[in-house]
Amino acid sequence: MSLRKYLTSRVFFLQLLAAAAIIAVIGYLFMHWLTFTTDHGHEIEVPNLSKLTEEQVENKLDELDLDYVLLDSVDYRSEYPKYSVVEQDPLPGTMVKVGRKIYIKINASGFSSVKIPDLIEKTYREAVPTLKALGLELGTITYIPNLGKDMVLEMRLKGRNLKVGDRVLKASKIDLVLGDGKASYVDDSQADSTAVPVETPQDEQ
For position 171, what pLDDT does the model report?
86
Contacts of 131 (CB under 8 A, 6+ apart): 117, 119, 137, 138, 174
For position 194, what pLDDT does the model report?
43
CA end-to-end span of the chain: 169
For position 24, what pLDDT does the model report?
86
Instruction: DSSP for 112-134, please give it.
Output: PEEEPP--TT-BHHHHHHHHHHT
Instruction: Write down the mean pLDDT value for the chain.
Output: 83
For position 9, what pLDDT does the model report?
73
Biggest CA–CA distance in the chain, Å, is 169
Classify 103 as helix, strand or coil.
strand
Measured between alpha carbons, how far is 155 from 176 in angstroms, rounded to an integer? 5
| AA letter at 117 | P
Q: Of 144, 42, 60, 55, nearest to 106 (Cα)?
A: 55
Measured between alpha carbons, how far is 106 from 86 in angstroms, rounded to an integer? 5
Residue 186: pLDDT over 70: no
Classify 20 as helix, strand or coil.
helix
Q: Which of 26-30, 47-51, 59-63, 195-199 shows the lowest per-residue confidence on average (mean pLDDT)?
A: 195-199
| AA letter at 50 | S
pTM, two decimals, is: 0.51
For position 205, what pLDDT does the model report?
39
Give tens-digit pLDDT for 105-133: 999 888 888 999 999 999 999 999 999 99
Residue 203: pLDDT over 90: no
For position 56, what pLDDT does the model report?
95
Measured between alpha carbons, how far is 18 from 150 in angstroms, rounded to an integer? 92
For position 37, what pLDDT does the model report?
60
More confident residue, 94 or 14: 94
For position 201, what pLDDT does the model report?
45
